[in-house]
Structure 1
Amino acid sequence: MTATAVDDRAVAPGRVPVSRGYRFELVKLVSQWRVRLLVLACWIAPAVFVLGVGQQSTLPTDTLFGRWMLATGWAAPLVTLGFAGTWALPLLTSVVAGDVFASEDRLGTWRHLLVAVRSPRRIFAAKALAGLTVILLLVAGLACSSAVGGLLAVGDRPLVGLDGHLLAPSDAAGKVFLAWACVLAPTLALAAIGLLGSIALGRSPMGLLLPALVALVMQLAQMLPLPVAVRLALPGYAFIAWNGLFTSPVQTGPLLIGTAVSLLWAALATALALLLFLRRDFTNPAYDGSGSRAVTAGLLPLAGLLALTVAVVAASTGSTGSGIRQDKVQRSLATAFAHLYRLQTEQLHRPAVTEAQLRASADCDKGGGRLSAQGPGNDWRCVVTWHLPGVKATGQAVYQLDFTADGRFVADGDGPKEVNGYFLVRTPTGDAPNPLWQFDGNVELLDTTLKG
């Protein structure tokens, strides 16, 4: 009897380590045809798109950095990043993280998995890590493919920043890949929400769609004239906060806040998903999620985190309005004009001039002076004034500005024609529109830097 008991204990298998479970879950994910198709698309489609744009006569000028796609190869990954943050990354997290647990419900394989692993915590860790690995592979594919496509189509040339200054190719390369690294934080937040939906809603299609729906709601919120504190407290803001990397000085405040908020959402959603997973009843093969539990253990804690972060951001930055004010607009436009005026001077082979010599300034109003000069809208009008060395007359140019709620604006030249009208200039890459005709700019929404 004793010998038999000892033998039974000797042959009793131990728990499967997380590393082994991770490899098993990773193989399961990669073996799915839709995941393989996504990996292939992310590593090929951006390069094909960029090479195709290089053969066209028109550019996606409605997209940030789209007007520079024929001037430098480093504009292509930024155009792809803008599209990815809006559509691709939310959909990718839905397909991968939103289905990683629900697939076991559809197949009815939970009992087999629990018998083999015998540890819900290890199962959760293995599945979460496998999903994270696939998502990182997809993001890396989008970044590398678009960068390679841009460099092959156009070349390694300087990039014009959002304040008009030129970034050397090496500097542009570093900031491009840093921008892609910055969007990993909100991607992790959506992935964690996907895990939470996959566990809380079971085989319901809503679990699969949850990250995409949450991302859509956050995008709609960013289009509304919300206070800055609310805007920055949403993890979706981190998908556009990388814009501040391409100004001088770099707008680090919104970027750091957006990243921190996204990581907080990722940590809380992952913890909630683990809590729900450990409390689940695996003896019921017909389990189809719990709507009430999804609300009490999922939605309410995230809503509480949102309220807390809004209060913290408002108290630490003092920013409560739209963040778009007359003084900021005038300063941003004058800076961009001065930098681009130097670029135009170089392209037209005129005597060189510095920003200090130009002493550019701007006078802006909104709605013809009938409205308060603040907030987004397409009714901003600005008059830029500058001086040339040895010339007594003062130069002036008129711009119409179209502001979005996230602080981005498009400046459209409205005369005089020889300064900011449409005409072609010869550049090392071929003929290009006058750089002062239309250009993108960015205003930092925060009124002050973070209080130390």
Structure 2
Amino acid sequence: MTALTLDEPRRTEPVALRRGYRFEMVKLVSQWRLRVVLLACLLAPAIYTAVVSRQTTLPADAVYGRLMNQSGWAGSLTILVFMGTLALPLLTSVVAGDIFAAEDRLGTWRHLLIAVRSPRRIFWAKTLAALTATLVLLAALALSSVVGGVLSVGAHPLPGLDGHQLSSAALARTIALAWLSVVPPTLAFSAVGLLGSVALGRSPLGLLMPVAVALVLEGVQLLPIPVALRMALPINAFLSYRGLTTEPAQLSALWIGIAVSLAWTALATFLAYRIFTRRDFTNIAFDGNASRFALVGLAPLVALAVVSTGVIAAATGAVGNGVERVKLESALSTSFSHLYVLQTERLGRPVVTEGELHATAACDKGGERVEDAGPGADWRCVVTWTLPGATAEGNAIYQLDVLPDGRFTADGDGPKEVNGFFQVRTPTGDAPNPLWQFDGLVDLLAEAKGQE
């Protein structure tokens, strides 16, 4: 008799990660919604900077907004202001917030699991695809914002947020680093999008999770909260690039923002991975569990913010909201000195340096009955300086609007020949008066030296 032999069951290997990643990228690129978003990222910033920089009315509320008609580099920095508040979290919602939820809406999880044969590789393939698409959209925004402004106005120098003049080459480096600095917080909100997409399935809340978290954190940022808590939130990392425009650069907030953002990215991604690999894929009507998501998803992120606040407070010694009279006076006098030198050059007057001016500032907030600390639009400052060889002192009055994040806007209030008018008469014609209105930056983490 002939012996019958049975073939051993053949072992099926999971699909390689690179093939899964390529498949996910093809699915993303084939979506008309993502194509429209990419086209908008390539065109909208360029059109906005090119058109607005030619207008007489400029977005003065944004950092560098009032300088958009003076240099094309200002347009990119102005666009960057709007990106961190809502645009970048919205982009992460479109990509990361939908990449898992789309399978729930279409009911294709079973087909994908049979094809790939590994939930873990499905997760990482989708995560890497979402990361790639997000970075491409971010690069498109950066390139478009620079090209539109530079082609429209030109690559002219600009003052930094401490008033010192930045050359075109220095601005190019600064803007490149500024856009790179928003990559970590963008990744943090992308990871939050992954977490919402995995945990809440077809629920619209999962898709909009990055936007919802950004709105909550933005609302917290508008309050005069302790500076350690402010630095512990990833939304603040979208603003830390401003320290690159000062001399010396204010890098403490930048490094803290990068570390906090990476911590949020790692934790949110880990939580999404754990929820995904433990999910029951037999339930085709999965819509998530909001209460469970709050416990296993949002609660760990809140705990991370609390721990980060304590670590930052212990490491930096930062107390209060960081806006103090002495630091504000130092920042204002520094900016005034740099901009006074720039005004002198434009007027063709004898050369003077910042050190020769010996500029000082005396600030008061809201009168004698109000403590001289904290943000507000009721700061009034008097800047005093002395020109070389002169015995009389010069005085200039400024009304300051100081925001909780350390940015302030100084509005000149006389004398007219110094800061009381928006233009100065130069040998080549009227030119913008650099001392009339300008933005400055208080280092919230700096130690207030010499405070009485």
Superposed CA offset, 1:301-338 (max 9, x none): 11111111011111111112010111101100000000
Q: Find the counterpart in structure 2 of residue 57 from structure 1.
A: 56
* Structure-2 separation of matches of 1:39 and 1:426: 45
Q: Find the counterpart in structure 2 of residue 225 from structure 1.
A: 224
Q: Find the counterpart in structure 2 of residue 257 from structure 1.
A: 256
Q: Find the counterpart in structure 2 of residue 441 from structure 1.
A: 440
Q: Find the counterpart in structure 2 of residue 113 from structure 1.
A: 112
- Confirm whether residue 168 of structure 1 aligns to residue 167 of structure 2: yes
CA contact (8 A) 2:185 2:235 kept: yes
- Unmatched 5+ stretches in structure 2: none
Q: Find the counterpart in structure 1 of residue 385 from structure 2.
A: 386
Cα distance, 1:370 vs structure 2:
2.3
* Structure-1 separation of matches of 2:138 and 2:346: 37
**Paired letter, 2:321:** S
How is 1:312-331 mapped onto 2 (pairs within 5 angstroms)? 312-331=311-330
- Report percent identity of matched pairs: 60
**Paired letter, 2:316:** T
**Paired letter, 2:401:** D
CA contact (8 A) 2:43 2:144 kept: yes
Scaled by the length of structure 1, the TM-score of the pair is 0.96
- Aligned-partner SS, 1:379: strand
- Aligned-partner SS, 1:418: coil
More displaced stretch, 401-410 vs 12-21: 12-21
- Confirm whether residue 351 of structure 1 aligns to residue 350 of structure 2: yes
* Structure-1 separation of matches of 2:315 and 2:176: 29
Alpha-carbon RMSD across the aligned residues, in angstroms, is: 1.6
* Structure-2 separation of matches of 1:379 and 1:249: 28
**Paired letter, 1:78:** L
Change (3 A) 1:56 1:428: farther
Change (3 A) 1:67 1:427: farther
Cα distance, 1:292 vs structure 2:
2.9
Superposed CA offset, 1:206-265 (max 9, x none): 001110010011111110010001111111110111111111111111111111001100
CA contact (8 A) 1:50 1:149 kept: yes
How many residue pairs end up in the alignment?
446
* Structure-1 separation of matches of 2:222 and 2:319: 17
* Structure-2 separation of matches of 1:196 and 1:392: 66
Change (3 A) 1:301 1:429: farther
* Structure-1 separation of matches of 2:232 and 2:423: 43
- Unmatched 5+ stretches in structure 1: none
- Aligned-partner SS, 2:417: helix
Cα distance, 1:425 vs structure 2:
3.3
* Structure-1 separation of matches of 2:409 and 2:363: 14
**Paired letter, 1:5:** D
Cα distance, 1:285 vs structure 2:
1.2
How is 1:134-173 mapped onto 2 (pairs within 5 angstroms)? 134-173=133-172
* Structure-2 separation of matches of 1:109 and 1:155: 51
Q: Find the counterpart in structure 2 of residue 5 from structure 1.
A: 7
CA contact (8 A) 1:162 1:247 kept: yes
Cα distance, 1:4 vs structure 2:
5.0
* Structure-2 separation of matches of 1:29 and 1:2: 50
**Paired letter, 2:377:** N
* Structure-2 separation of matches of 1:61 and 1:200: 41
**Paired letter, 2:217:** M
* Structure-2 separation of matches of 1:429 and 1:170: 25
- Aligned-partner SS, 1:5: coil
CA contact (8 A) 1:317 1:448 kept: no
* Structure-1 separation of matches of 2:119 and 2:399: 59
Q: Find the counterpart in structure 2 of residue 361 from structure 1.
A: 360
How is 1:295-334 mapped onto 2 (pairs within 5 angstroms)? 295-334=294-333
Change (3 A) 1:108 1:428: farther
* Structure-2 separation of matches of 1:288 and 1:432: 60
Cα distance, 1:448 vs structure 2:
4.2
- Confirm whether residue 130 of structure 1 aligns to residue 129 of structure 2: yes
CA contact (8 A) 1:69 1:75 kept: yes
CA contact (8 A) 2:163 2:335 kept: yes
**Paired letter, 2:27:** K
* Structure-1 separation of matches of 2:193 and 2:4: 50
**Paired letter, 1:242:** Y
- Aligned-partner SS, 2:418: helix
Cα distance, 1:427 vs structure 2:
7.5
Cα distance, 1:3 vs structure 2:
5.8
- Aligned-partner SS, 1:397: strand
* Structure-2 separation of matches of 1:133 and 1:162: 33
Q: Find the counterpart in structure 1 of residue 202 from structure 2.
A: 203
CA contact (8 A) 1:238 1:258 kept: yes
* Structure-2 separation of matches of 1:54 and 1:242: 22
CA contact (8 A) 1:318 1:447 kept: no
* Structure-2 separation of matches of 1:429 and 1:287: 70
CA contact (8 A) 1:71 1:429 kept: no
More displaced stretch, 139-148 vs 298-307: 298-307
**Paired letter, 1:200:** A
* Structure-2 separation of matches of 1:239 and 1:363: 31
